[in-house]
Amino acid sequence: MKRTAVNPWNWSLKLGYNQAEIIEGQTRQLIVAGQIAVDENGAPQHAGDMRAQIALALDNLEAVLKGAGMDLSNVIKLGVYATDVDEALKNFDLMGMRFGPVQNAPPMTLLGVTRLAIPGLLFEIEATAAA
């Protein structure tokens, strides 16, 4: 799979994402449902702690990717939902710590929402991956 970043401006790179990517030569695509801060039984974790919820949601995303024989380097698009965008952005260094080592800055959309499906959850991340 060949990826070519499309960035008419550089400002998004400072935030850890490309404006767009051209994906060529993929053979498999994975659509990952929103991953949240729940344990293996689906019980919400880390009430009121945005940072811990982001970390666990990323752990869960990585687990789903691994189950498909992929990792964060295969992610080609992210959708992020947060009940407090400012608080999420304060903790986005966690995104950089996960995606930076695999040198991936997939296009991303961050939306503020009034609540998520499960009360008490603050952060949700969905992904599209390709190999």
CATH number reported for the structural domain that contains residue 121 in this entry = 3.30.1330.40
**pLDDT at position 15, please?**
83
> What pTM did the predictor assign?
0.91
99-117 pLDDT, tens digit per residue, is 999 999 999 999 999 999 9
Q: Measured between alpha carbons, how far is 110 from 56 in angstroms, rounded to an integer?
A: 18
**35 in a domain, yes or no?**
yes
Compute the average pLDDT of residues 22-45: 94
Pairing relation of β-strands 20-24 and 2-6?
A: antiparallel
Rounded CA-CA distance 124/80 in Å is: 6
For residue 92, tell me if it sits in a domain: yes
How far are the Cα atoms of 1, 10, 19, 63, 89 from residue 23, in angstroms, in the given order?
7, 20, 13, 23, 27
Mean pLDDT, the chain, whole residue set? 95
* 3 part of a folded domain: no
Please tell me the predicted confidence (pLDDT) of residue 38.
97
Overall domain count for the chain: 1
Sheet order of strands, 123-130 included: 29-35, 123-130, 75-82, 108-112
Confidence band (pLDDT; 50, 70, 90) for 27? confident
* 22 assigned to some structural domain: no
In a domain, 21, yes or no: no
Residue type, 126: E
User: Which residue range(s) make up the domain with 53?
Assistant: 27-130
Q: Given this model, what pLDDT does residue 96 score?
A: 95
